[in-house]
Amino acid sequence: MATIDALHSTDAQQPGPETQTVIKSFEQYVIPNYRRFNVCLVRGEGSRVWDADGHCYLDLFPGWGCNLLGHCPGPVVKAVQRQVEKLIHVPNTWYIEPQGTWAKLLSERSFGGQAFFCNSGTEANEAAIKLVRLRSEGKRYKIITFEGGFHGRTMGSLSATAQPKYHDGLGPMVAGFQFAPHGDLDAVAGLVDEQTGGILIEPILGEGGIVPASKEFLRGLRKIADDNDLLLVFDEVQSGCGRTGKWFGY
Give residue-wise pLDDT tens across range 69-78.
899 999 999 9
Structural domain contains residue 169? yes
Structural domain contains residue 110? no
- Structure confidence at residue 13 (pLDDT): 61
212, 131: one domain: yes
Q: What angle do CA 103, 113, 141 make, to 5 degrees?
A: 115
More confident residue, 119 or 2: 119
Secondary structure string (H, E, C) spanning 46-88:
ECEEEECCCCEEECCCCHHHCCCCCECCHHHHHHHHHHHCCCC
124, 65: one domain: no
pLDDT over threshold 50, residue 3: no
123, 212: one domain: yes
- Of the candidate ranges 96-100, 143-147, 193-197, 236-240, the one whose mean pLDDT is the lowest: 236-240
Structural domain contains residue 106? no
Structural domain contains residue 245? no
| pTM, to two decimals | 0.86
- Structure confidence at residue 117 (pLDDT): 94
The CATH number of the domain where 55 resides is what? 3.90.1150.10
The CATH number of the domain where 218 resides is what? 3.40.640.10
Beta strands per DSSP E along 125-235: 142-146, 177-180, 196-201, 204-205, 211-212, 231-234
Give residue-wise pLDDT tens across range 147-194.
999 999 999 999 999 999 999 999 999 999 999 999 999 999 999 999
pLDDT over threshold 50, residue 121: yes
Give residue-wise pLDDT tens across range 51-92.
999 999 999 887 777 888 899 999 999 999 999 999 999 999
Structural domain contains residue 89? no
165, 228: one domain: yes
Domain total in the chain? 2
225, 139: one domain: yes
User: Range of 164's domain?
Assistant: 119-234
Give residue-wise pLDDT tens across range 225-239.
999 999 999 999 888
47, 147: one domain: no
